[in-house]
Structure 1
Amino acid sequence: MAGIPRTVGEDLDSLRLGLHRPADRTRSRCRVERGRRATPLWQEGDAVTLRPRLEGSHEADVAIVGGGYTGLWTAYYLKTLQPNLRITILESRHVGFGGSGRNGGWCSAFLPMSPDEMAAEHGRGAMEFIQRTMFATVDEVGRVARDEGIDCGFVKGGTLTSASNEAHVDRLREYVASWHAMGFTDDDVMWQSANQISSRIAVARTLGGTYSPHCAAIQPWHLVRGLARVLESRGVEIFEDSPATLIDQGRVVTTSGEIRARYVVRAIESFASQMEPTKRSIVPLYSLMVATEPLPDHVWRSLGWSGRETFADGRNMVTYAQRTVDGRIAFGGRGAPYHFGSQIADRFDRHERIHRKLEETVREVFPQVADAKITHRWGGPVGAPRDWHAFANVDHSTGLCAGGGYVGDGVALANLVGRTLAHQIADTGDPLTIARGFGWSARDITSPDDLTDALRATLGKGLHLLRICVEAR
């Protein structure tokens, strides 16, 4: 997801009303292809062989429920801190089944609020700490991928947001100004003219926009699967096809077995909405994507996009895109309806009206691809806590831990949350281990709880700001 606060009107309307919107029955005039695949582009051609399911009774030092980024990163850093820990990961389907294997591939340091709002809520020191930590987290993901030999197409080309009308221009200029007022510089966020934007990506009707270097494009499926392989090589057990029916102090019960552990980590993001006692604490919101066929060289010459910057358009419908390693445009957005009762189902991964709108938007923003086939449509839920706060919680008295609540910004943030959980579980005795490791002062972060509070503040104003944007438009 992009780092510029933008409106997600359909998401908000759906949450307010708690209703399904009726499908738009009008026929699209854009070229569409029959037989578009529902499999996420990232997983194309990669057959999944399930690992064994958990059978019978087992024991571990740490049991992690959820085989996505949060669970895997938590295990990775725990093994780094304490290599002898017995760690078991339980996944209901297969590793990367959820958002970790189907997202837009943005490893972004930005979160859905302005730095001045965060500073007002939690202090300038905390704001600077969490934001600079997020800047470094993008590089940390790239470092791990490189050091561990994970070929996930990590390219740190930065992120670009294009303004296509004057309202976008005003808002994006204010956004840059808010960063600079907080002590950041053009090295972090800058305004770029229409010519500068076009020199990077030939976007239709751009009036200018913002650019930041703090984002990388990745192949998300390759990252999550690669992490799992690294963990197995270090002795972490991973069981698939093992849905948890009970997550409790000291144990996890699945449909076919049970594991007892000193620490139990819930790392299931939007799927926390499907079980007690977290059922009402998080809302699953659907984000959908499309992908073009591989584009010929002459189209790429007309588009530019040589740096593989991630791209967002400043419209009301949240959009996000990247140039893939194999030469496609992968393009996503919000707008799919909230499903009554926080339902999650495979059939919701496709929505004719929203997918058709995404296809039209691709061709509107990039007219150079007007004749390109759309080969893939897919989607999935992101986790939106009802208080719009991310979390990284460890209770040493019970051993119960939880991390998540990314509202679609989880590729990089899950790394930080996983690291935070690992340092707290390992009880390193130094709550500033992460900050000191990066060489930064963290005057306002004096305990692990303060870091959690800073993470919560990072997303805490998101819903309020998005509503303001809706009303302002």
Structure 2
Amino acid sequence: MIKENGLESYKNLRAAITKSIDEIGQIAKSNNWQIDYAKGGALLFARGNAQLSRISKEIDEEHQLLNKSQTTELLNIPSALGSVFTPHCAALNPFKLVRALADHLEKLGVMIYEQSSVSEIRDKQVEVNGFNVNCTFSIRATEAFTPRKWMGNRQIPIYSLMVATEPLSNEVIKEIRNTQRATFQEACHLITYAQITGDNRLALGGRGVRYKLFSRLSERSEIDNRMHSALERRARSWFPQIANAKFEYRWGGAVALTRRWQAYLNFDHTTGRAEIGGYVGDGVTLSYLVAKTLAEKMSNVKTANLPFIDQRIGRWEPEPIRYLAVNTGFKATVMADYEEKITKRPSLLAAIIDPLINR
């Protein structure tokens, strides 16, 4: 990102994201939205020497390296050797946030129409359920659910799956020690992410479901017994304290992945057309920041120099090369984790595939 957009743009983005985390909490508090918001920071923990070596290189003014005992004080994962902590993260319930926002807007007089299929987007006009609707602005913000005729090969849908336990007892919560509700993830190559929810559940997510040919969406991909079971096993390996806890929920959904994991905001004031998306990795905060920036541009308010503005998104390879490359990449990340578990050293395979995945 620094190479493509410059150091100033990168610093502006990090500062804007940090500010946005607080703004979301402030908006929720001022409107009395019950969204289980808790700014407890984030932990990236290592369970092996290879992981510890890798995260030790990620230290900067916003990230602090913690040893085993310091990590345990914040989050009691017995197998963790150390972690990197940043205070710039918050846990919340995204569904409660969306519902609270929708209710708030409707009270202000905004009309929200659901079950409305848009088949065409034109300058200052959209076709909805067969009817032409004139508008000053039209915003395509449909992420992974955008038809290919509008997005082409500029993004692909990948599935992120989640599991959640029953509410954990006060005794178990006390043993886990995550009193500030810091979010956490293991420093493995296959992405994971987790939090203790406002009602004391362990919610854990991860990726690994196969990408479907021609970027097809499938509800069957939202429930993958193999992947969901793997997430449950991983959670129990982190926390022996939940050995007897039941997992009550399994779900998943598609997110849009662009080349180099880039968010984008493209807006033409003359035609009134805008498109935003590409939030994978920083979902709630980045979607808020991009939407806020678009609102400023629509209102002719001067915006900061942020790298997602007028972003030219690269294209993915044509099929079936894309299908083979993406799924090979998923398998390679799993193999890289196994390699590190065996060799106790940073993965050579990961060193080869990471530049290819992020190019």
**Which TM bucket (shorter chain)?**
0.7 to 0.9
Q: Is the 8 A contact 1:126 1:454 kept in 2?
A: no
Mapped pair 1:237 → 2:116: no
TM-superposed CA distance for 1:345, in Å, is 2.4
Q: Per the alignment, in what secondary structure is the counterpart of residue 205 of structure 1?
A: coil
TM-superposed CA distance for 1:144, in Å, is 1.1
Mapped pair 1:280 → 2:159: no
Q: Distance in 2 between matches of 1:259 and 1:239?
A: 13
RMSD: 2.4
User: 1:215 aligns to what?
Assistant: 89
Q: Distance in 1 between matches of 2:310 and 2:87?
A: 26
User: 2:48 aligns to what?
Assistant: 165
Mapped pair 1:392 → 2:271: no
Q: Deviations over 1:339-368 (max 9, x none)?
A: 122111222210011011001101011111
User: 1:317 aligns to what?
Assistant: 190
Give the structure, 1 or 2, with the largest relative contact order (CA under 8 Å, sep 6 or more): 1
Q: Is the 8 A contact 2:164 2:248 kept in 1?
A: yes
Counterpart residue identity of residue 78, structure 2 = A
Q: How does 1:68-467 map to 2 (within 5 A)?
A: 118-176=1-59, 180=60, 185=61, 188-255=62-129, 257-272=131-146, 274-386=147-259, 388-428=261-301, 430-432=302-304, 445=305, 452=309
Q: Is the 8 A contact 1:291 1:328 kept in 2?
A: yes
Q: Per the alignment, in what secondary structure is the counterpart of residue 293 of structure 2?
A: helix
Counterpart residue identity of residue 156, structure 1 = K
Closer, same or farther: CA 199–387 of 1 in aligned 2, 3 Å: closer
Counterpart residue identity of residue 382, structure 1 = V
TM-superposed CA distance for 1:121, in Å, is 3.3
* TM-score, length of structure 1 as denominator length: 0.65
Q: Distance in 2 between matches of 1:212 and 1:455?
A: 30
Structure 2 unmatched runs, 5+: 315-325, 337-346, 353-359
Count of residues in correspondence between the two structures: 324
TM-superposed CA distance for 1:313, in Å, is 0.7
TM-superposed CA distance for 1:397, in Å, is 2.0
Q: Distance in 2 between matches of 1:170 and 1:381?
A: 32
Q: Deviations over 1:413-439 (max 9, x none)?
A: 0111001110111113x234xxxxxxx
* TM-score, length of structure 2 as denominator length: 0.85
TM-superposed CA distance for 1:388, in Å, is 3.2
Q: Deviations over 1:183-213 (max 9, x none)?
A: xx2xx21000110111111113111010001
Counterpart residue identity of residue 431, structure 1 = T
Q: Is the 8 A contact 2:166 2:248 kept in 1?
A: yes
User: 2:344 aligns to what?
Assistant: none
Counterpart residue identity of residue 126, structure 2 = V
Q: Deviations over 1:357-386 (max 9, x none)?
A: 001101011111111111000000011124
Mapped pair 1:471 → 2:350: yes
Q: Distance in 2 between matches of 1:256 and 1:143?
A: 41
Q: Is the 8 A contact 2:141 2:277 kept in 1?
A: yes
Closer, same or farther: CA 395–453 of 1 in aligned 2, 3 Å: closer
Q: Per the alignment, in what secondary structure is the counterpart of residue 151 of structure 2?
A: coil
Counterpart residue identity of residue 288, structure 1 = L
TM-superposed CA distance for 1:167, in Å, is 1.2
